[in-house]
Amino acid sequence: VAALMGMTETIAALAGVAHYAGAIETVIEDTPAGLLVPGPDGPAKTLDEADSKHMLTPYDLAMPLRWAGYVKGVPAAAKRLGFPVAIKILDAEIAHKSKIGGVELNLASEAEVATAVKAIQRNVAHARPDLQNDYFVVEQMVPPSLAELIIGVKRHAELGFVLLVGRGGVDAEVHRNYALTLLPASDRSLERTLDRLCLELPVPDARRSVVAAMRTIADFTADHAVVLAELDINPLLVLEDGSAMAVDALVVVTDREDAGDLQ
């Protein structure tokens, strides 16, 4: 019988026991062999949202129907996709489009789209006068959501790839509520990583949908480990029916000759 001399020591000991028990359970249940080894280092190349989503399209990750192209095609694309729509500036150098006024949501007509395009162009010209502002992505609006998450992958020189899941949206950096796991990871490990966030997901299928999205990103990372440097899905929206949809995506690859074959 261990004597615990104080409340602080008691809580720390109980936390250590719980962590140890969970680690042992994960190891026994399903542990992939080794770490996911990245390819050689190289200069980083950030893909724009359209190209990032194009890379993710073959995988089982729900995304809104979309169109990407020059500004003159935006009204026709919006009408073809069906209102309401969202329109966003499209440039690989603008990682946080909403923070510079590069996003307009819930546009219900061609007139609203035309007004929104002009507003975005003014905002981008003011915030980033060095960039062109005539390339856009148009997407169908996503139904109301219960939660906004972020799923990301970072490449680490010694550890390989680390998968991150946390509270997302435009304030993801402020929340700093996230959990990490090394790749490859078992399904049980992904579930335990999500559980560490203590998210309230009242819809029964929501947790399963988020874990499935994490598995998809883990599989994508394994398939592109040679060139992948970084990946962010933010936000991943948890919808009222329990499904999950990736609204924005950013992929960074090492600028190698074979990187283009993977897009």
Note the pLDDT tens digit of each residue in 133-155.
999 999 999 999 999 999 999 99
Residue 174's pLDDT is 63
Range with the poorest average pLDDT among 26-30, 82-86, 116-120, 220-224 = 26-30
Note the pLDDT tens digit of each residue in 150-206.
999 999 888 899 999 998 876 556 667 889 999 999 999 999 999 988 788 878 899
> What does pTM read for this prediction?
0.84
More confident residue, 32 or 38: 38
Find the helix packing angle between 206-223 and 187-195, rounded to 10°.
Answer: 120
CB–CB of 154/249 below 8 Å? no
CB–CB of 23/193 below 8 Å? no
Q: What is the 3-state secondary structure of 85-144?
A: EEEEECCCCCCCHHHHCCEEEEECCHHHHHHHHHHHHHHHHHHCCCCCCCEEEEEECCCC
Average pLDDT value for residue range 24-47? 75
Residue 39 has pLDDT above 90, yes or no: no
Residue 177's pLDDT is 82
Residue 175's pLDDT is 62
Residue 76 has pLDDT above 90, yes or no: yes
Average pLDDT value for residue range 45-74? 96
